[in-house]
């Protein structure tokens, strides 16, 4: 404004307090491009339909029947009046057919200043020190608790999450399809490589459209946070200006996650237009006609006829038994002693008829 009025550049200076009052007096504010999505509900519906088609194609490509979705959300601040950025994160994972996985809770903790001790705590104690781990370890009942200096999700926790949830399954040869958002800690090269090593296929939810394409955001989050608020408000203790202790936070989250019904998990996939459980056309045909006869080309009788094996030519008395002491092994290899072909049977019948004449 000063330069536009013809003033010399650099001649006018103002303190931060003057600028603050000037902006307030004239109702001005600095603006920047927001990182939040500016899409409409119609855009979300179209993107959800498009993403649903991509997921179905990936399901057919991998040959999987169940889709998994994982998402992280912040909740329960560390103080009653907390500064911006201070968060406690917990991650939940569910399958499209209803089963739930153990949630991951991430708390803020101060790492050791000694490099060797910090590495030992990360490997053996989920990032906590010896004294604190003795308390946290006993709280891991149906949950996985981790800690780091930021109290936030990162690529190392992504790898740990993949290992705990999918890296110790019995059917490692069967692929897993996991949907999660475009958070940078999900898509680092080491995370993608580790996912491929344990046969997990990662698929990115469209950025800016998680409210319509991700089942966790569509259905799970609100119900879970409402349940946690009820448990926090139901604690009959005098009001204190202090944050809740870890034990209470873990109990609230574990209880709320445990009470989340199976139909709520599947409803999230339905509302996000994701297949709750993929069914092949052959399976649908069997469901519609469970007592239908099998196709003729797959019949056992047809396969036997293709090899020209007559039923009346099979005799148990002519079978070669391995434990038979009279068997000297003089039979020709590849010759079937217990089966008479049609040509041999016809020739023997003609010979007997000529002798009778």
204 has a pLDDT exceeding 60: yes
Tell me, yes or no, whether 29 lies in a domain.
no
Strands 89-95 and 67-74: antiparallel
| Confidence band for 353, pLDDT divided at 50, 70 and 90 | very low
175-179, 218-222, 274-278: the lowest-pLDDT one: 274-278
What pLDDT score was predicted for residue 195? Answer: 92
In the chain, pLDDT over 90 holds for what percent of residues?
A: 6
What pLDDT score was predicted for residue 275? Answer: 62
What pLDDT score was predicted for residue 244? Answer: 67
| Confidence band for 334, pLDDT divided at 50, 70 and 90 | very low
Tell me, yes or no, whether 132 lies in a domain.
yes
Tell me, yes or no, whether 356 lies in a domain.
no
Tell me, yes or no, whether 154 lies in a domain.
yes
336 has a pLDDT exceeding 50: no
User: Residue 245 sits in a domain of what CATH number?
Assistant: 3.30.420.10
Alpha-carbon distance of 79 to 142, in angstroms, equals 25
Q: Which domain holds residue 213?
A: 41-284
Tell me, yes or no, whether 81 lies in a domain.
yes
What pLDDT score was predicted for residue 341? Answer: 44
Tell me, yes or no, whether 255 lies in a domain.
yes
Mean pLDDT of the chain: 69
8 Å CB contact between 235 and 241? no
Residues 178, 274, 223, 92, Cα dihedral to 10°: 0
Tell me, yes or no, whether 274 lies in a domain.
yes
| Confidence band for 145, pLDDT divided at 50, 70 and 90 | confident
- pTM, two decimals, is 0.55
Tell me, yes or no, whether 64 lies in a domain.
yes
Alpha-carbon distance of 73 to 147, in angstroms, equals 15
| Domain total of the chain | 1
> pLDDT higher for 197 or 255?
197
Q: Give the number of other CB atoms < 10 A from CB of residue 151.
A: 18
Alpha-carbon distance of 292 to 288, in angstroms, equals 9
3 has a pLDDT exceeding 80: no
Alpha-carbon distance of 184 to 153, in angstroms, equals 10
Query: Any residues with CB less than 8 A from the CB of 279 and at least 6 apart, and which?
Result: 65, 287
In the chain, pLDDT over 70 holds for what percent of residues?
A: 52
């Amino acid at each position: 404004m000063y330069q536009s009025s013809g003033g010399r550049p650099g001649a006018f200076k103002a303190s931060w307090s003057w600028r603050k009052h000037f902006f307030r007096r004239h109702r001005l504010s600095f603006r920047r491009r927001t990182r939040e999505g500016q899409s409409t509900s119609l855009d979300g519906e179209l993107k959800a339909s498009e993403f649903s088609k991509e997921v179905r194609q990936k399901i057919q490509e991998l040959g999987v029947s169940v889709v998994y979705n994982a998402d992280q959300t912040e909740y329960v601040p560390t103080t009653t009046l907390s500064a911006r950025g201070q968060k406690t994160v917990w991650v939940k994972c569910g399958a499209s057919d209803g089963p739930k996985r153990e949630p991951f809770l991430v708390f803020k903790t101060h790492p050791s200043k000694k490099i060797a001790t910090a590495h030992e705590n990360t490997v053996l104690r989920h990032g906590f020190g010896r004294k604190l781990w003795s308390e946290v370890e006993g709280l891991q009942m149906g949950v996985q608790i981790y800690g780091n200096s930021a109290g936030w999700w990162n690529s190392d926790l992504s790898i740990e999450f993949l290992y705990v949830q999918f890296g110790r399954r019995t059917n490692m040869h069967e692929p897993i399809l996991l949907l999660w958002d475009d958070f940078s800690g999900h898509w680092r090269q080491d995370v993608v490589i580790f996912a491929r090593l344990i046969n997990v296929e990662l698929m990115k939810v469209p950025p800016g459209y998680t409210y319509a394409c991700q089942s966790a955001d569509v259905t799970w989050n609100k119900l879970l946070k409402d349940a946690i608020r009820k448990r926090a408000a139901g604690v009959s203790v005098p009001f204190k200006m202090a944050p809740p202790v870890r034990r209470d936070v873990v109990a609230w989250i574990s209880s709320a996650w445990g009470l989340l019904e199976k139909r709520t998990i599947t409803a999230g996939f339905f509302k996000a237009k994701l297949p709750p459980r993929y069914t092949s056309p052959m399976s649908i045909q069997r469901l519609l006609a469970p007592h239908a006869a099998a196709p003729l080309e797959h019949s056992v009788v047809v396969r036997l006829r293709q090899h020209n094996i007559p039923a009346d030519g099979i005799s148990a008395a002519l079978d070669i038994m391995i434990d038979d002491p009279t068997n000297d092994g003089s039979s020709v290899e590849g010759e079937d002693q217990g089966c008479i072909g049609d040509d041999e049977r016809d020739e023997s019948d003609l010979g007997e008829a000529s002798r009778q004449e």
